[in-house]
Structure 1
Amino acid sequence: MKNLTLFLLIISYGGFAQPKVDYSKSAIEASKSWIDIDYTGDGIIGHKLDIFLPKEGKAPFPVVITIYGSAWFSNSSKSTCFNDGLGQTLLKNGFAVVSINHRSSRDAIWPAQIHDVKAAIRFIRGNASVFSLDTSFLGATGFSSGGHLSTMAGVTKGLKATTINNLPIDLEGNVGKFTSESSEVDAIVDWFGPTDFLLMDACGSSFSHNDLKSPESTLVGGAIQENKDKVALANPISYVSKNTPPFLIFHGTKDPLVPHCESEKLYEKLQKEGVKSELVIIEGGGHGPGVMIDKYYTQMVEFFKSKMKK
């Protein structure tokens, strides 16, 4: 029973309930769309992205990349970001929406996932004129594990490689054909993403992140408490600096899977480094329910607009 409970929690980890999206219906707000673009040229499903342009406004359009939650276990869930909430709200407010896949933790362990995110960003910059995109503003947002990856894209801005606890890490990678383009992002909206894996159980998670088969352990290739140096390489909180772009963070107090202390710790570090940031703690909010709603989608849009170059 314990293993079954753990399995069900992990399945739901990525985004409470992840609807299967029929793009023919959900893309109703898009003036133009491109589906399943291979952003690396290698043909694998984990390297596909979708682009949607707003119906209203003048091209080229500012860009927001959206990253799904799946506990890093899915390589093909980009459609879950483009529904009547997150993606559609951005689109209705004049942003081009780029929803991306990435390799799962079963395809490759960390840092493959951030290499994919950055490859997608570079692809978008390298093809901006083709898709009517204005990459003078490029934001990123994601929920749960997608929040983690969005946050990582932000906190590693301008940092191609580093060493933490004597372990080197390549944060940029050489995935795709546009390696000369910038992978930097201008603003991040993080929806309840993990930020410090080692604290999750102590903060009150409903299942064991310390377990060998947990999402975090799978991501780094071993039980997290036995691989603390490797975990530091995957923790966004390790990279926060004065160069980090502005952040807006949402988290519910009743999130059973990613405790809200994860966002509080990130916010504390952002504030310490002088990064413009805001934390919205939602009383009674869960792992999506009560958090990913119109009120906070609107706040997300206002945040992104406020960070655009005038």
Structure 2
Amino acid sequence: MKHESISVYRKVTKLFNFPIKELVYTSSAEYGELKMYVFEPPACDELRPAILFFHGAGFSAGKARPEQFQHHAHYFSALGFVSICVEYRPRHVEGLFSPVTGIKHAKTAVRQVRAQSALLGIDPCRIFVAGASAGGYLALCTAMIETVTDLPDDLSGDLSVSSVPDVLIIFNGGVDTAVLIEMFPELSVDLAGASPKDHVRGFLPPSLFFHGTQDENIPYATVEEFVDAMWKSGNDSRLVRFEGLDRLN
């Protein structure tokens, strides 16, 4: 499958408190257009790093949307990053959205940014991916779940373009799909094969984790064990502990 070109920018301000531009990175008959919301840095002749943000709020609740990370994105754009808030599930499928589809969309987003890096003024070797909670899980999957082509309705795009980011930043992200399997038992086989803790290996991107010790949804101990396993596999993986805090998103 050949990757499609990202659509022409259209300036929008509806969801965000800052001037941003939107682009369509994929579309399907089932979900319609999915968009990226771009915070452009000051003009520069050099290629810039990019950072993609995936919002949280699980896979069945609409409490967080792409604008969740708008202040982070605005800050990073001031530092010279092309900052992008990614829509990975449309509003009209809330409560019906599969995390497996979320993985496909997340991988597609990274691939499209890398494939269209010249258009976006981005260095394709300096792509950061960040996410919170469910978005943190998806961020990890872009780097750790090598393929979803064996799953139905694959949307991952041109597999010759890597979906692996160069750096990961994870806010209280899931590392084990056990909770997701309880939520989506019909996807148990697929989700069992998409658990980051079972895909720890060497040569993964540097990763930075932020996690509260009182997180009830994703226990701190599971993330601590995960980061320790990443270190033992030779990866640069670090965990910042927030004592007494629950979720950070």
Which bin holds the TM-score, normalised by the shorter protein?
Answer: 0.7 to 0.9
Q: Residues of 2 paired with 1:52 and 1:109: CA distance?
A: 28
Aligned pair 1:98/2:84, yes or no? yes
Amino acid at match of 2:84: V
What residue in structure 2 maps to residue 87 of structure 1?
73
What residue in structure 2 maps to residue 55 of structure 1?
42
Q: Residues of 2 paired with 1:95 and 1:220: CA distance?
A: 39
Picking from 177, 200, 209, the partner of 1:240 is 200
CA contact (8 A) 1:105 1:218 kept: no
Aligned pair 1:73/2:60, yes or no? yes
Q: Residues of 1 paired with 2:136 and 2:67: CA distance?
A: 16
Instruction: Give the alignment of 1:256-295 within 5 angstroms.
Output: 256-288=216-248
Q: 5+ unaligned residues in a row in structure 1: which ranges?
A: 1-20, 28-32, 162-168, 199-208, 210-214, 293-310
Q: Residues of 2 paired with 1:235 and 1:38: CA distance?
A: 28
CA contact (8 A) 2:26 2:33 kept: no
Aligned pair 1:149/2:138, yes or no? yes
Question: Per-residue deviation at 1:271?
Answer: 1.5
Instruction: Give the alignment of 1:120-199 within 5 angstroms.
Output: 120-156=109-145, 159-160=146-147, 170=150, 174-175=154-155, 178-198=158-178
CA contact (8 A) 1:72 1:219 kept: no
Q: Residues of 2 paired with 1:73 and 1:268: CA distance?
A: 30
- The alignment partner of 1:125 has SS state of helix
Amino acid at match of 2:18: S
Question: Per-residue deviation at 1:137?
Answer: 0.7
Write out per-residue CA displacement over residues 171-194 of structure 1, whole angstroms, 9 at most, x where no aligned residue: 8x8526645422121110111111
Question: Per-residue deviation at 1:121?
Answer: 1.2
CA contact (8 A) 2:104 2:156 kept: no
Question: Per-residue deviation at 1:90?
Answer: 1.7
Q: CA RMSD in A?
A: 3.0
Q: Residues of 2 paired with 1:127 and 1:92: CA distance?
A: 22
The alpha-carbon distance between structure 1 residues 236 and 150, as it changes in their structure 2 partners (threshold 3 A), is: same
Q: Residues of 2 paired with 1:115 and 1:271: CA distance?
A: 27
CA contact (8 A) 1:155 1:239 kept: yes
What residue in structure 1 maps to residue 104 of structure 2?
115
The alpha-carbon distance between structure 1 residues 58 and 23, as it changes in their structure 2 partners (threshold 3 A), is: farther
Amino acid at match of 1:140: V
Aligned-residue identity in percent = 22
The alpha-carbon distance between structure 1 residues 265 and 63, as it changes in their structure 2 partners (threshold 3 A), is: same
Question: Per-residue deviation at 1:42?
Answer: 3.0
CA contact (8 A) 2:39 2:73 kept: no
Question: Per-residue deviation at 1:216?
Answer: 4.9
The alpha-carbon distance between structure 1 residues 101 and 45, as it changes in their structure 2 partners (threshold 3 A), is: farther
Q: Residues of 2 paired with 1:176 and 1:233: CA distance?
A: 17
The alpha-carbon distance between structure 1 residues 116 and 24, as it changes in their structure 2 partners (threshold 3 A), is: closer
